Structure 1
């Protein structure tokens, strides 16, 4: 049985796709990414050191979830980081 030929992309579309993948992120991207990871860590550390009084007393143990949520956003940004 003969094999089918693979489809070829038009040349213009292939160039646009590869150019978009190779462009580096803006300068602020790395600062925001690491900043979110550090802020999330500081949030959790502050909660434990202050024994639940800070950062937001009314949230109680939900402060841990907030700290991890902030840090996870920073970690998710690493999947899109291009240098």
Structure 2
């Protein structure tokens, strides 16, 4: 049986000009950034809790109109609450 030929692999060199290190501003996030990030997530959670406990009709005898303006928003309260929480979670991607 004939012996197969061994192909010579071409060696390539990496262009070192493209791999120069870039200085990146490294440091911890400021205190206000972390406070705002956590505050947005907690505010969104608080918004949903208040909506469920105060602004929706319940079996406890409340007619759901304790907070008239929040009751009038209806299902938009979910978008508002989750919107605040998502904004806080998106801020975590830049947190150092």
TM normalised by structure 1 equals 0.76
Tell me the residue number matched to 1:6. Answer: 15
Tell me the residue number matched to 2:30. Answer: 26
Please, which runs of 5 or more residues in structure 2 have no aligned partner? 1-9, 57-63
Name whichever structure is richer in helix by fraction: 1
Q: CA RMSD in A?
A: 2.1
Please, which runs of 5 or more residues in structure 1 have no aligned partner? none
The number of equivalent residue pairs is 77
**Residue 61 of structure 1, aligned match among 75, 81, 85:** 75
Please give the alpha-carbon distance, in whole angstroms, between the structure 2 residues aligned to 1:69 and 1:59. 15
